[in-house]
């Protein structure tokens, strides 16, 4: 992570982002390649990796980019990946599933330090603060690799300026699958610049569905029976105060959206900021 000396977290992070962005666009090495600088395997199906950050590569925390590898026939195989590192960091980070026989991840799973991967320069996404109305609390609801955009957002000081409390809920099948989010949250709490904000304002609620754990149950159930809010001593979800970002399988996204609709929450977009926004963590039904 970037080591910054400035005493003001916001000014320091802003300065870091500006200096990364001040390089000419043409600085991105052809053909859109970055070098892998670290790899961590969390389970036999989940790994994260870092790359260097091309000068001029700009993005908003929560966005995704196309990354990939060149196949044996010299063809680029690219897929959408949320950028898991915040916009101010000097490296890029990604959190990946391994799909058996998946065109990209069956090969991406073998990346090692020094390997090159493709990173397309365009970034986009719906999980942006500009799409949400002001509010008191921001709920970030993720399953599986849907945590990736929130790994960026919980390290972005802007969310702690916009919202008094940020509630991150990460649902997985097993405790081992929580390893990455547990590490990111612990590191963020200990970070010299953002640690104080994170410790004061972020509530982290990991939940598993197929093992015993301190918190069990699907996110949909935790929301519907009010257990999530009550376990944090928060009032029930209310569109007057609460804003929500959702990133998971199509089933999770649809089920939560249906619950929110019943409570009169409205989906936000850039021309009409609203109460919640949704992004798919992947296409298809899951593995
Ligand atoms: P594919 O042919 O792309 O997928 C095969 C099948 O595997 C899919 O039909 C689906 O059923 C299942 N699958 C794919 N991705 C996942 C997943 N992440 N979790 C569970 N099941 C999955 N993937 C990541 O691992 N990390 C990310 O940060 C990420 N961000 C994404 C952001 C967006 C907006 C979208 C649309 C997708 C994102 N994906 C992410 C999914 C990613 O684009 C690829 O689908 C994934 O890397 C598998 O690629 P593949 O070529 O091996 O298999
Ligand atoms: P469950 O174990 O009950 O299926 P996956 O690994 O399949 O992507 O699932 C990740 C987590 O998301 C699991 O805890 C899973 O619970 C949960 N999940 C899957 N579908 C939904 C849904 N429609 N609503 C809420 N949680 C879901």
Tens of pLDDT, residue by residue over 198-239, are 999 999 999 999 999 999 999 999 999 998 998 999 999 999
Instruction: Tell me the C-alpha to C-alpha distance, in Å, between residue 250 and each of 73, 76, 281.
Output: 33, 27, 8
CA of 216 to the centre of ligand 2 (A): 12
Beta carbon of 206 within 6 Å of any ligand 2 atom: no
Does residue 12 surpass a pLDDT of 90?
A: no
Q: Looking at the CA of residue 144, tell me the nearest atom of ligand 2.
A: 10
Atom number of ligand 2 nearest to Cα 208 = 14
Q: How far apart are CA 139 and CA 168, in angstroms?
A: 6
DSSP 123: E
Q: At a CB cut-off of 8 Å and minimum separation 6, what does 6 contact?
A: 12, 15
pLDDT at position 26, please? 34
Which atom of ligand 1 is nearest to 98's Cα? 52
Q: pLDDT (tens digit, 9 = 90+) per residue, 52-107?
A: 999 999 999 999 999 999 988 999 999 999 999 999 999 999 999 999 999 999 99
Low-confidence winner among 28-32, 36-40, 99-103, 183-187 (lowest mean pLDDT):
28-32
């Amino acid at each position: 992570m970037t080591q910054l000396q400035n005493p003001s977290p916001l000014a320091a992070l802003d300065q870091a982002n500006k200096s990364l962005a001040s390089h000419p666009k043409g600085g991105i090495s052809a053909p859109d390649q970055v070098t892998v600088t670290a790899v961590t395997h969390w389970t036999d199906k989940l790994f994260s990796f870092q790359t260097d950050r091309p000068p001029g590569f700009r993005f908003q925390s929560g966005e995704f980019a196309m990354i990939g590898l060149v196949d044996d026939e010299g063809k680029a195989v690219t897929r959408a990946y949320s950028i898991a590192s915040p916009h101010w960091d000097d490296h890029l980070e990604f959190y990946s599933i391994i799909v058996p026989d998946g065109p990209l991840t069956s090969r991406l799973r073998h990346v090692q330090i020094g390997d090159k991967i493709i990173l397309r320069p365009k970034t986009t996404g719906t999980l942006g603060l500009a799409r949400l109305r002001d509010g008191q609390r921001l709920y970030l609801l993720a399953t599986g690799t849907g945590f990736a955009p929130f790994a960026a957002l919980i390290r972005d000081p802007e969310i702690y300026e916009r919202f008094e409390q940020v509630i991150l809920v990460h649902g997985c099948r097993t405790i081992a699958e929580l390893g990455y989010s547990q590490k990111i949250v612990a590191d963020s709490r200990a970070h010299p610049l953002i640690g104080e904000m994170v410790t004061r304002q972020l509530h982290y609620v990991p939940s598993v569905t197929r093992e015993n754990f301190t918190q069990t149950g699907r996110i949909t159930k935790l929301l519907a029976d009010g257990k999530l809010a009550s376990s944090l001593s928060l009032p029930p979800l209310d569109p007057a105060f609460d804003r929500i970002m959702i990133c998971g399988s199509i089933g999770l996204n649809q089920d939560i959206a249906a619950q929110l609709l019943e409570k009169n929450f409205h989906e936000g977009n850039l021309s009409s900021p609203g109460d919640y926004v949704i992004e798919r963590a992947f296409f298809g039904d899951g593995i």
